[in-house]
Every structure is written in C-alpha cells, then in structure tokens.
Amino acid sequence: MAKTNNKIDRRLRDLVRRHGTPMLAISRAVLRAQLERFRKALPRVEPFYAMKANPCAAVLKTLAQAGAGFDVASLAEMEAALAAGAPPERLIFANTIKPARAISAAAARGISLMTFDSEYELDKIAERSPGARVIVRIKVPNVGSIVELSLKFGVDPADAISLLIKAHKLGLRPAGVSFHVGSQCTRVENYIEALETAAIIVRDARLKQVPCGIVDIGGGFPIRHFDDEDDPFDPAAGVIAREIDRLFDANVRLIAEPGRFIAGPAGTLVMRVVGKAIRENKHWYYLDDGVYGALSGIVFDHAKYQFKVARNGRTQLSTLAGPTCDSLDIIARGEELPELELGDIVYAENAGAYSLASATNFNGLEPAKAVLVP
Ligand SMILES: Cc1ncc(COP(=O)(O)O)c(C=O)c1O
C-alpha cells in the first residue's frame, strides 16, 4: 500500500539534489540505535552483525566503531570487516560451507571461530586451519519465517555432539552450537524451540566433557515494513531474553548474527519516475530502480515495501515497474497512488537490508548510490 507524505520530502529532496537517484540513504544514527536496541533487549547476547545484509564500507565502519562483531560469509566479507576496523577476534566465519582457500585465509588473518554442518567441512577446516574453534550448526524449525534457511543448512541436533567429538579428534577446538530460525522470523516459538534444543546439546556436551561454551542464536530478528504494523522486535526479544536466562548459566557465552534488524530500518531507497504509460486502463510508472537493482529483495528476500510519494490527491490503483527491459521487473501492482508526473520521487523506508547487497548491473544500469547520512 502506498502512502503520500509531504514532511519528509524536504530532507529527501536535498539529498536527491546532491546525489541523484536511485539512492539508498543510510542513517548512521539509526544503525547505532538498532545496535543499542538489540543490546538493551538482549543484554546477554553479543551482536555479530551479519554483513551480508548490507556490506557498505561506511555501514561496517559505523558498526565497528560501536563495538559490534561481524558475521562474515566469504573471504571478501572478511577483508571488508577487517578493513572497517573490526579485530579478528570479533569475527565469526558463519558460512557452514567454505572454500578451502577462504579457510586458509581466515587462519592467516587470525580468524579462528567458524561454523560447520558436515563431516567433510571438518576435514577441510582441520587441514587448512588446525586448532580452529568450531561451532556446529543445527537444523531448527523455520516455520513462518519469510526466508527459510534450515532447508539448506544444519545437522540433525542428535548428531551435534558426535560431530563436536570428531572435531576434537581432528585437532580442532569444539566451541559451541549455532542455529538460524529463518530470516524475518515473526514466530517467537522458533527461537524458544531452538534455544531448548541448544540447551540440551550444551548439557549433554558437559556430561561428555566436550567443550560447548558458545550458543550462537543466529539472525532472524524481525523488523516492521509498514507504518500500520506494530514493531515485532521488542515483544519477541523479551521472550528470548527470558528463555536465555532460564536455560543457560553464566558460563555460557551467547552471541547472535543480526543482519536485517540492524541494517533494514536504517535505509531509505529513493527513486524517481522516469517513464509513464497507461496499460490495462491503469497508470504504470517506470522508476529508475527495480527488482534487478536495490529492490532485488522483492525476488531474493520475498520483501514487501511501503512505497511513498510526495504528492497528495485522489488515488487510483497503479503499477510500479523497474527500468530494465525484462517484464519480471515489475515492482508492485495495485498500489493506491495519486497521479504522478515524470521526475516525481517515490521512496521506500526500511529498505537497508538485502536490497543494494544483491543489486546487479543488468541492462548496464548502475545500482543505487549508497549515501551515509548522520
Ligand atoms: C548464517 C546467517 N547468519 C545470519 C544471517 C542474518 O539473518 P537476518 O538478516 O535474518 O538477521 C543470515 C541470513 O541469511 C545467515 O545466513
């Protein structure tokens, strides 16, 4: 559902005048505020920002200065996080399947904490990074999460201890257990069930004297996308914090890998109408960004956005489309919009995560420019 808004328009107009469109305006203040909200709501959990959500160098620098750790998924991400000022001990290599070369590079850079979810991966890690601290990722329910992750990752929880024992036999240091409840998880029961499963593994590991002192609760923390929704984070975080206190004593170190929660609310994607047509008796507005660009989350992340415009007036059902020659590049149908003119601004808030990160240059179009604002 689209919305008209005149107030915010002046600030965006200034930015557009200086930087053009398409532009992803990213607020440093909101990045810091989201990190602080996370720390306050989950005081026992250390946030390792999942930089896949938004890897802009200035975002990483802002978060590194605020003391965040980083979840990195590749050699390039590792280098970007280190370049932003994060010390190697504040990085977790949280891609369970890693090229051997990337494991060697992590070892060379002093990054020793990594996740795995297969015996084959353990052999690779043992060869390339002897003595690395390894965390076993378990499969947990992803029911109702917008992006399902347990399909591709995680071992059966019943196999976790034997894999940690195998890690020890290979000369690695078993370190803990991790999970991911699925991204944009609005069903807090997923966290509760996963935490209970992790607690059983930690208890069992103690009995068998296998080190398992870290519980990594992954990402998935949800954000609000539409103005008329309640913010889903605080109620969920309250429940998670209580479960953590109930299940884990002070000897257990808790970490998390929030991506969307940190970067999503900080980003506003600002576009312009570059073309207009009437098709099927409806107005179609062609914007200068679309699903091959910073709105790629519509395809890859199942994202939905609230599109806002700076015009008032009688609304009509309209279609928003992107600038490429592909008919897949339709952003939204059935948007209630006043009649727009060429050059008008259309923007979407809460677009800081999984947006520019997966934008392409398809049709020779430059991805949106990332602009950090105070
Ligand atoms: C291993 C891992 N950690 C963390 C995240 C971040 O998840 P979210 O953005 O839902 O917080 C992802 C997302 O895909 C992931 O794969």
36-72 pLDDT per residue, tens: 999 999 999 999 999 999 999 999 999 999 999 999 9
5: pLDDT confidence band, cut at 50, 70 and 90?
Answer: low
88: pLDDT confidence band, cut at 50, 70 and 90?
Answer: very high
CA of 146 to the centre of ligand 1 (A): 12
User: Which runs of E-coded beta strand occur in the chain?
Assistant: 3-4, 23-27, 45-50, 69-72, 91-93, 113-116, 133-137, 173-178, 214-216, 253-256, 267-279, 282-287, 307-309, 315-321, 330-338, 345-348, 369-373
Q: Is the CB of 297 under 6 A from ligand 1?
A: no
* pLDDT tens digit sequence for 223-237: 999 999 999 999 999
CA of 15 to the centre of ligand 1 (A): 30
Q: What is the token pair recorded at 199?
A: 């607690």
- Atom 5 of ligand 1, residue of closest alpha carbon: 219
Angle CA(38)–CA(41)–CA(43) in degrees, nearest 5? 90
Q: Could you count the other beta carbons within 10 Å of the beta carbon of residue 148?
A: 14
Verify that 123 and 20 share a domain, yes or no.
no
Domain of residue 108: give its range. 28-264
Q: Is the CB of 157 under 6 A from ligand 1?
A: no
145: pLDDT confidence band, cut at 50, 70 and 90?
Answer: confident
Task: Name the residue of 149, 186, 221 to mutate for ligand 1: max ligand atoms within 8 A of Cβ.
Answer: 149
Query: Of 232, 264, 296, which residue constitutes the final position of a domain?
Result: 264
CATH code of the domain covering residue 137: 3.20.20.10
- Reply yes or no on whether the pLDDT at 4 is more than 60: no
pLDDT of residue 19: 97
* pLDDT tens digit sequence for 243-270: 999 999 999 999 999 999 999 999 999 9
Verify that 17 and 144 share a domain, yes or no.
no
- Reply yes or no on whether the pLDDT at 6 is more than 70: no
CA of 4 to the centre of ligand 1 (A): 32
* pLDDT tens digit sequence for 204-218: 999 999 999 999 999
Q: Which atom of ligand 1 is nearest to the CA of 221?
A: 11
Verify that 271 and 259 share a domain, yes or no.
no
Query: Of 209, 236, 264, which residue constitutes the final position of a domain?
Result: 264
Mean pLDDT, rounded, of the chain: 95
* CA neighbours closer than 13 Å in the CB half-sphere of residue 242: 8
- Atom 7 of ligand 1, residue of closest alpha carbon: 219
- Reply yes or no on whether the pLDDT at 7 is more than 60: no
Number of independent structural domains in the chain: 2
Give the Cα separation of 323 and 368 in Å (integer).
12
Verify that 79 and 186 share a domain, yes or no.
yes
Verify that 303 and 252 share a domain, yes or no.
no
pLDDT of residue 146: 73
Query: Of 264, 291, 312, which residue constitutes the final position of a domain?
Result: 264
Reduced to 3 states (helix: H, G, I; strand: E, B; else coil), residue 95 is coil
Verify that 113 and 178 share a domain, yes or no.
yes
CA of 51 to the centre of ligand 1 (A): 9
Task: Name the residue of 42, 51, 71 to mutate for ligand 1: max ligand atoms within 8 A of Cβ.
Answer: 71
CA of 145 to the centre of ligand 1 (A): 12
φ, ψ dihedrals at 261, nearest 5°: -65, -35
Verify that 117 and 229 share a domain, yes or no.
yes
* pLDDT tens digit sequence for 113-124: 999 999 999 999
Verify that 203 and 221 share a domain, yes or no.
yes
Q: Which residues are catalytic?
A: 325
DSSP alpha helices (H): ranges in 66-147? 75-83, 100-108, 119-128
CATH code of the domain covering residue 279: 2.40.37.10
- Reply yes or no on whether the pLDDT at 191 is more than 60: yes
Verify that 48 and 185 share a domain, yes or no.
yes
DSSP alpha helices (H): ranges in 20-74? 28-41, 57-65
50, burial (CB in 10 Å: exposed 0-12, middle 13-18, buried 19+): buried
* CA neighbours closer than 13 Å in the CB half-sphere of residue 224: 12
* pLDDT tens digit sequence for 158-167: 999 999 999 9
Verify that 164 and 303 share a domain, yes or no.
no
* pLDDT tens digit sequence for 301-353: 889 999 999 888 899 999 999 999 999 999 999 999 999 999 999 999 999 99
Q: Is the CB of 335 under 6 A from ligand 1?
A: no
Angle CA(26)–CA(29)–CA(34) in degrees, nearest 5? 90
Verify that 174 and 260 share a domain, yes or no.
yes
Q: Which atom of ligand 1 is nearest to the CA of 258?
A: 11
Q: Is the CB of 180 under 6 A from ligand 1?
A: yes
- Reply yes or no on whether the pLDDT at 1 is more than 70: no
Task: Name the residue of 257, 260, 301, 350 to mutate for ligand 1: max ligand atoms within 8 A of Cβ.
Answer: 257
Verify that 248 and 368 share a domain, yes or no.
no
pLDDT of residue 152: 87
